[in-house]
Chains A and B, each alone.
Chain A
Amino acid sequence: MTDATLSFEEAMEKYDPVLGFEVHVELNTKTKMFSSAPNVFGDEPNTNVNEVDLGMPGVLPVVNKTAIESSIKIGLALNCKIAETCRFARKNYFYPDTPKNFQTSQYDEPIAYDGYLDIELSDGTMFRVEIERAHMEEDAGKLTHMGGAAGRIQGADYSLVDYNRSGVPLVEIVTKPIQGAGSRAPELAKAYVAAVREIVKNLGVSDAKMERGNVRCDANVSLRPHGRERFGIRSETKNVNSLRAVEHAVRYEIQRHAAVLDSGEPVIQETRHWHEDTRSTTSGRAKSDADDYRYFPEPDLVPIVASREWVEELRATLPEPPAERRKRLQADWGYSDLEFRDVVNAGVMDEIEETIAAGATATVARKWWMGEIVGRAKNADVDPGQLGVKPETIVELNKMVEGGKINNKMAAEVLDGVLAGEGTPAEIVEKRGLAVVSDDGPLLEAIDAALAAQPDVADKIRGGKVQAIGAIVGGVMKATRGQADAGRVRELILQKLGVEG
């Protein structure tokens, strides 16, 4: 069943959106939050675990110091206050993604709180998003639903559980309600998540790959009539795992809420699931008793005390903030304001930086990413960075173009080949027979033919009468239908006959 929606424009005429985000960031520590098992993505199921991750009876969790430091760094980068003292708490629920029947999290004492992030929108408008808190917790195991429709839980017969992700350190960043974004709400949503992702990547505390779930976003949306202060009832859309999806999901939910409100029905407070294929959400479950998590202080872990000295030590290690980094990169690369903003909006700033590091000039890197690659990403409906273009590929392609081996049109074809997995650019040029025919090859053939056709003229030239060369050049030009470079033809003839020009 598809939900009714209003057009975005109509929804904006009638209602004012209020947003809120919960962004989960997986830290890239070597080990888990409370156990020494490795924090590694994609290994054989249930092998990056030990007794703590499997929730065996009688085990004792021990806090990973690096994870605490990473969390404090995230808090500082989000302009938060860092709690002098904080604790972990148990969040109790029954679901097979946690073998303990509780998730170790933080409840009333988050490690970081009261921060903000200034977000730049595509036209340069600045928008301040206030951060309520950033708290530490552990990730859950991964469930795969079997049977039923295409891996969705609806109609599944059973689920398979891999606990490798269980206990991976997470920082959950929660915003205060975001008001006043108006029709820019979807864009702001995308820009906010992009900014958080950029910050944690820049800090080096997360791999920040959304396609791997390192950064995951739950988007809260509610609508209220213009001019009303009280918030409407919100929905929480989960599983929004790319920047484009964040924008689309917020837009969709605004349109859906508007249609519900227009019909005179109340919005149901519920979880919605985002579906990338249909670009829509479906109902998960309504908020219920199951949300009574009975939090209580974790008895197996002692409080964390972040001394001011420790916090200042960590602050001193923070890298250049993203906004300042942007300014520096723009200056280094010599892009105009507009060029640079286009690069940022296209989401290829990091990719261009990597491409330049791989050996391309700033101009070449921009030409490729903003030209060939952004267009292909749009067609493929993915973020440019997810297309799979490696910086080395661009450098190699550019070398081939500058060396005259292939032209730009061929380079684009070779890029398609690389993306189709046909091999390296050199292999594809070879396989597809794409190299530009060397200029001299056909010329030499035509010169040989012209010399053979006029042996007497050839002899005259050999004898020193260089001015006779005109007849041979004329023959070559005729044979190549005027497309040869006459000067080069003349040089080649003289070389061939061993005569000084």
Chain B
Amino acid sequence: MAAINRDDVAHLARLAHIEMSAEELDRMAGELAVIVDSVKSVSEAAGDDVPATSHPIPLTNVFREDVVGHTFTAEQSLSGAPDAYEGRFKVPAILDED
């Protein structure tokens, strides 16, 4: 049985704000199932002695000293904004996702 089904894909699409048609959901459920199953077989290849990794390069503690660098002006910050008002980004009021 596939690790991901059509309902999962519909759920993810909604969370990701992606509109998908019924056909797209069907097709994507099939494609994603293949990907998820492939990942699963990779997981099986890695034994318990292999720790989970989030990064392919064995680096840790890449830090920056706490020194102030460059900043934008308000004009620069807003230069790509679809709408702005008094130096701030203007966006639709959204209540349902707080």
Contact = CB atoms under 8 A, between A and B. Distances in A.
Interface of A: 29-31, 35-38, 44-51, 54, 62-68, 85, 87, 92-96, 144-148, 153-154, 156-163, 271, 284-285, 289-290, 292, 294, 297-299, 301-305
B94 A65 contact: no
22 contacts: A36-B64, A36-B68, A36-B70, A38-B71, A45-B86, A49-B71, A54-B72, A63-B62, A63-B64, A68-B63, A92-B15, A94-B17, A95-B97, A96-B89, A96-B91, A148-B93, A153-B93, A158-B90, A163-B77, A298-B54, A302-B57, A304-B61
B54 to A, nearest CB: 3
Contacts of A160: 85-86, 88-91
Contact of B88 (A45, A68, A94): A45
Interface string B61-81: 111111111111110011000
Given A49-B77, A156-B93, 9 more contacts: A38-B71, A46-B87, A47-B72, A49-B71, A49-B72, A153-B93, A160-B91, A290-B15, A304-B60
A285 B88 contact: no
Contacts of B55: 297, 299, 302-303
A308 B14 CA distance: 44
A302 B67 contact: no
Contact of A45 (B65, B70, B74, B97): B74
A297 B54 contact: yes
Interface of B is mostly: loop
B50 interface: no
A45 B15 CA distance: 30
Given A63-B62, A298-B54, A30 B67 contact: yes
B68 A31 contact: yes
B87 to A, nearest CB: 5
Given A46-B89, A157-B93, A62 B64 contact: yes
Contacts of B96: 285, 290
B38 to A, nearest CB: 18
B19 to A, nearest CB: 14
In order of increasing CB-CB distance, the 9 nearest A-B pairs are A36-B69, A297-B54, A66-B66, A65-B63, A160-B88, A46-B77, A156-B93, A161-B89, A62-B64
Contact of A305 (B61, B69, B74, B94): B61
Contact of A50 (B14, B15, B71): B71
A96 B94 contact: yes
Nearest to A153: B95
Nearest to B87: A45
Contacts of A50: 69-72
